[in-house]
């Protein structure tokens, strides 16, 4: 008998998948703004999954940063560049076939794995604590190194974006 969190999990996971699919391959609209909106919904569903894991801080960040700030930037750029509706491309049959086989293979593997799986003992030993304090402590002690590397990664992204988007002056 599934419990309420289980039901919620399946619902949210289903939403994530559905909205993600609509974001990249919406059969009804080719408008980039629509896609961006579905991306927002995807992110919100994922935030819901974080809540189920009692990672409230991550859920909040997910909504604030991704669904909020980042998506605003996305929309801003879309409007600024005045991107037209994407044209429907003719699909390459061979590529579609190979891609389909690959997807089916992975999906088959997943289904097989799920069917044969035995319930795991709660493998991930400690659950992430929801509050910000332990998270911050971990980030600045045990996981300081990856955290700092991420700052370098952001620098790379910044340099790259400025460089690629700037007009070449001759």
Partner 1 sequence: MNYMELLGALAPEAIVVLTALVALAVDLLVLRQAPQNARQVVAVSITAVGILAAIIALSVAAPSPPWMDGLLINHSTTAFLKQTLLVLALVAGILSIQSRFTQHTGEYVTLLLLSTVGMMLLVSSDNLLLMFVALELTSLPLYVLTAFNKESPSSSEASLKYFLIGSLSAACLLFGISLLYGLSGGITWTQLATTLRAGSEPIVYLALILTLIGFAFKVAAAPFHLWAPDVYQGAPTPVAAFIASGSKIASFYMFARIFMAALPGTAGSAAWSGATPGWVPLVAALAVVSMILGNVAAIAQRSVKRLLAYSAIGHAGYALLAILSNTEQGMGSLLYYVVTYAVTAMGAFAVVNVIERDVQAPNGESLTDFAGLSRRSPLLSLCLLVFVLSLAGIPPLAGFFGKFYIFIATAQSGTSQGLIWLVMLAIGTSAISLYYYLQILKQVYVVESVGQPTPVQLRPAESACIVAMACTVLILGCAPNWLINRFSPNSTEVRRAGVITKPSTTLELAAEIHPRITAPLGTATGLVQKRPQFETTTANAQ
Nearest distance in Å: CB 85, partner 1: 21
- Of the pair 97, 146, the CB lying nearest partner 1 is at 146
Nearest distance in Å: CB 155, partner 1: 7
The interaxial angle of helices 144-165 and 132-140, nearest 10 deg, is 80
Task: Confirm if 50 and 58 have CB atoms less than 8 A apart.
Answer: yes
* Total of residues contacting partner 1 (CB under 8 A): 30
Residues 163 and 157: their CA atoms lie apart, in Å, by 10
Residues 66 and 44: their CA atoms lie apart, in Å, by 9
**Alpha carbon distances (Å) from 47 to 9, 15, 65, 87, 134:** 11, 11, 11, 32, 20
- Of the pair 4, 121, the CB lying nearest partner 1 is at 121
Nearest distance in Å: CB 53, partner 1: 12
**Contact mark string toward partner 1, 74..113, x via CB under 8 A:** --------------------------------x--xx-xx
Q: Is 125 in the site for partner 1 (CB under 8 A)?
A: yes
Ramachandran angles phi, psi of 3, nearest 5°: -85, 175
Helix (H, G, I), strand (E, B) or coil at 139: helix
Residues that bind partner 1 (CB under 8 A): 106, 109-110, 112-113, 116-118, 120, 123-125, 142-146, 149-150, 152-153, 155-157, 159-160, 163-164, 168-169
């Amino acid at each position: 008998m599934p419990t309420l969190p289980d039901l919620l999990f399946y619902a949210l996971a289903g939403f994530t998948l559905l909205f993600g699919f609509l974001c990249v391959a919406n059969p009804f609209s080719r408008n980039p703004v629509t896609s961006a909106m579905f991306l927002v919904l995807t992110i919100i569903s994922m935030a819901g999954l974080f809540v189920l894991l009692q990672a409230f801080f991550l859920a909040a960040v997910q909504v604030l940063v991704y669904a909020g700030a980042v998506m605003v930037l996305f929309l801003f750029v879309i409007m600024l560049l005045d991107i037209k509706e994407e044209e429907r491309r003719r699909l390459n049959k061979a590529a579609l076939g190979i891609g389909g086989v690959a997807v089916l293979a992975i999906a088959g593997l997943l289904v097989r794995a799920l069917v044969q799986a035995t319930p795991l003992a709660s493998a991930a030993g400690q659950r992430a604590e929801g509050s910000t304090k332990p998270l911050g402590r971990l980030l600045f002690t045990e996981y300081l190194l990856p955290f700092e590397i991420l700052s370098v990664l952001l620098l790379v992204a910044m340099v790259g974006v400025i460089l690629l988007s700037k007009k070449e002056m001759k």
